[in-house]
Structure 1
Amino acid sequence: MENALPVAEELQRRWLHNASLNESYANQFVQPPWQVALWAVAYGLVVAVSVVGNVVVMWIILAHKRMRTVTNYFLVNLAFAEASMAAFNTVVNFTYAVHNEWYYGLLYCKFHNFFPIAAVFASIYSMTAIALDRYMAIIHPLQPRLSATATKVVIGIIWLLAFLLAFPQGYYSVMEELPGRLVCLVAWPEHDANAYGKTYHFCMTVLIYFLPLLVIGCAYTVVGITLWASEIPGDSSDRYHEQVSAKRKVVKMMIIVVCTFALCWLPYHIYFTLQYFNPEWYLQKFIQQVYLAIMWLAMSSTMYNPIIYCCLNDRFRVGFKHAFRWCPFVSAGEYEGLEMKSARYLQTQSSTYKVSRVETTVSLAVGAADEEPEEGSKARRLSVDVTSNGSSRSDSKTVSESLSFYSNTLS
């Protein structure tokens, strides 16, 4: 995340021998106490909801074996990145923007400019991985799925790339002393027209916003066409429609998550891109309020996902009710009933064919044991019939499972 304070931008431009945009280092961005209090409440709300909500999401997934799916491992990574950014950077951004003075030392200055880029990268590419996983599960269901180990390796690669891409901004972060105060900024190597800073900014904008959103958009477009516009000839059973409905709910939830992220971060990217075309805007006094609003919107993206999961997913709703069972309006009985219903329903939907076949086999085996020896040939005949029908049943099962990732979804 870039250092957006107007005075810091001005100092950086001067230090890089670019055109001077202001004749004074005086801090003109001083707000009345009531404005500071309102912004403090708004930013504090983001931190509280984001940290608590995302920690509960991680607990729901990691503490319940049934929830440890490929998609949910990426949701854990997404929740960790968002909770970390909210905890380590939101309050610091707020205090720095309000006071225009850096209180936290050089080490945290570097971390402050380094970690948010890594966290945003990990967030958006976790969403990308989920979109590609849903694409493979629905469009190419017969292809091998990621294992738990492979999923963890992918998550590790995401964070490695995130740290590598964020390293330059952390490395070039410095503290500079102005009359009566210190500021934290990114001081790129000297070059005409600040080429290094511009190049890095535009590359990061593409890599952590436009490129992943393009990939996600393409993946969910194909998935949406498949789920909403395609019909399977000869299969109109209730179970099939329940499976399709469940798949649609999961895809809808993830599309809402991605759209929320895109809308929250779009003003942020526009704000930092315009500074290269109209730098004089960033020396106006009103720009501080604009920056605080845009930064709040971007930081608030970290708190919406837990709310979305709770509203749109039965299992996450169960988990949140259990986590907040100490609240007077959440009853333990309701939680237990919903948990049992959800677990049974998902298990039944994912193994209906297996249960049916096992019951048939057991029934035939018991019947054969109870019959007289002279009827053994009849029992064997029945067994052969069941075996011969196994291929057709297996084909039916393959088609059904190839059209459904129900047992692997969140719903």
Structure 2
Amino acid sequence: MDPLFNATSAPNWTTSDTNNGTEYWNQFVQPVWRIVLWAIAYSSIVIVSVVGNVTVIWIIMAHKRMRTVTNYFLLNLAFAEASMSAFNTVINFTYAVHNEWYFGPVYCRFHNFFPIAAVFASIYSMTAIALDRYMAIIYPLQQRMSSTETKVVVAVIWVLALLLAFPQYYYSNTDELPGRVVCYIDWPEYTMCDFKKMYYVCVAILIYFLPLLVMGCAYRVVGLTLWASEIPGDSSDRYKEQLNAKRKVVKMMIVVVCTFAVCWLPYHIFFLLHEFLPDMFEEPFIQQVYLTIMWLAMSSTMYNPIIYCCLNDRFRAGFKQAFHCFPCVPQGSYEGLELKSARYYHTQTSVYKTSRMETSVSTVLQVGDDKEQHKMKALGGTGSGRAAMVSRPHSISTDVTSNGSSSLSFSKTISDMSSFYSSNNLQE
């Protein structure tokens, strides 16, 4: 996947004629101090990315209530980013600095194959989240994806990712040049078309431009729906809290997508320029440009856990729980991770108060009914007086029945609303 190295001509080594014959030398040799600085920069990516994304995976997998549709896709995103950071970042850096392949032909195939698959899985997980948010907000009455359907979508994403990356695996090869070994992709040559350029253009479209276009359109509509529309003046507090919760989720995902787009844009531009203007990549300064661009692209794997921690209360609670042994980490409430948020307690308290109120009203009315019946028996009136006394308890009894029915209906409504907001809370 690295433009500097996917060429059979190996332009990074220059030949010069001497009296003893041909001498090979590497024009991209760097001083030790520069290599050390780059090593620190790339090592920081690997440490933060692997630790952060593994923690995200633990937060989702270890807590049943965190296994929602959105979080399943975030789990897939974290796995892809942690894997790419662990298996490719250091290797990329070593090859870029020394310009020599030390890792054998098998890992050469994996090195050229896996990054495309991981990036494809990452960006299409974000695309799936965008489409899920779009359906949940624009069409709220339609049924959401189940956990089984979500897992099927994740499996399909990985199958397509592996198929897209397969040509780089199939044509990868190693070759021994004078004084070094190189890992490259030996693309076939066709008279009808340039397969190499066509493939790289398709990859750039499929793993960057097309999904970003889809996510941009989806989040534009969702944003207009959530932010442009005014909240009705008589809306309940629960409606406003629900709306704010949806806004927070969408805001977090927009930040994730924008971060990915900014980090990978220079790499894809560099990638395409290398295919159409290869001569400019013979200059010695291009190595530093490439290391900078590659660092920015690889750094996208470490930002997402930081974004989740800053913008999502439950992930923040999970990170505090995971790193509670460190003195610099403040003690947080673990209940937030279990989705027992303030809205949940508020809803439960409202249901409890409503039930108590219903019981009290029913008791008072029942006592009043008993007193009226006792008075009627004591007076023992006749004629119209007795009829009036008989009809009055009947009226009270009817009122009690009516009030009880109304109270039960009201209690049921509150319970249904509680279930709705609780289930909505799980899916957010």
Pairwise same-fold verdict (TM > 0.5): yes
Q: In the comparison of the two structures, how many residue pairs are matched?
A: 395
Unaligned stretches of 5+ in structure 1?
Answer: 14-19
2:14–2:25: 8 Å Cα contact kept in structure 1? no
Q: Using a 3 Å threshold, how does the CA distance of structure 1 residues 71 and 360 change in structure 2: closer, same or farther?
A: farther
1:139–1:223: 8 Å Cα contact kept in structure 2? yes
Q: Using a 3 Å threshold, how does the CA distance of structure 1 residues 381 and 169 change in structure 2: closer, same or farther?
A: same
Cα distance in structure 1, aligned partners of 2:265 and 2:356: 55
Q: Using a 3 Å threshold, how does the CA distance of structure 1 residues 217 and 40 change in structure 2: closer, same or farther?
A: same
Cα distance in structure 1, aligned partners of 2:276 and 2:192: 12
Q: Using a 3 Å threshold, how does the CA distance of structure 1 residues 357 and 209 change in structure 2: closer, same or farther?
A: farther
Alignment match of 1:347 (pick from 315, 321, 344): 344
1:54–1:82: 8 Å Cα contact kept in structure 2? yes
- TM-score for both structures, normalised by structure 1: 0.86
Q: Using a 3 Å threshold, how does the CA distance of structure 1 residues 80 and 349 change in structure 2: closer, same or farther?
A: farther
2:317–2:334: 8 Å Cα contact kept in structure 1? no
Query: How many angstroms does 1:23 deviate by?
Result: 6.0
Query: How many angstroms does 1:285 deviate by?
Result: 0.5
2:405 aligned with 1:384: yes
**CA deviation digits over 1:112-169, x for unaligned, max 9?**
1111111000000000011111111111000000111111111111111111111111
Cα distance in structure 1, aligned partners of 2:305 and 2:311: 10
**AA paired with 1:292?**
L
Q: Which residue of 2 aligns with 1:11?
A: 9
**CA deviation digits over 1:293-331, x for unaligned, max 9?**
111110000000001111111111111111111111234
RMSD, aligned CA: 3.2
2:65–2:338: 8 Å Cα contact kept in structure 1? no
Q: Where in structure 2 are the equivalents of 1:45-194 lying within 5 Å?
A: 45-192=44-191
**CA deviation digits over 1:320-379, x for unaligned, max 9?**
111111111234xx3237738962314246778866776666667777888759766444
SS at match of 1:5: coil
**AA paired with 1:240?**
Y
- TM-score for both structures, normalised by structure 2: 0.83
**More contact order relative to length (CA 8 Å, sep ≥ 6):** 1
2:13–2:25: 8 Å Cα contact kept in structure 1? no
Cα distance in structure 2, aligned partners of 1:365 and 1:340: 39
Greater Rg by CA: 2
Cα distance in structure 2, aligned partners of 1:343 and 1:274: 52
SS at match of 1:174: strand
**AA paired with 2:147?**
A
2:195 aligned with 1:220: no
Q: Which residue of 1 aligns with 2:208?
A: 209
Q: Where in structure 2 are the equivalents of 1:356-375 lying within 5 Å?
A: 372=370
Q: Using a 3 Å threshold, how does the CA distance of structure 1 residues 75 and 59 change in structure 2: closer, same or farther?
A: same
Query: How many angstroms does 1:232 deviate by?
Result: 4.6
SS at match of 1:9: coil
Cα distance in structure 1, aligned partners of 2:13 and 2:326: 54
**AA paired with 1:339?**
G
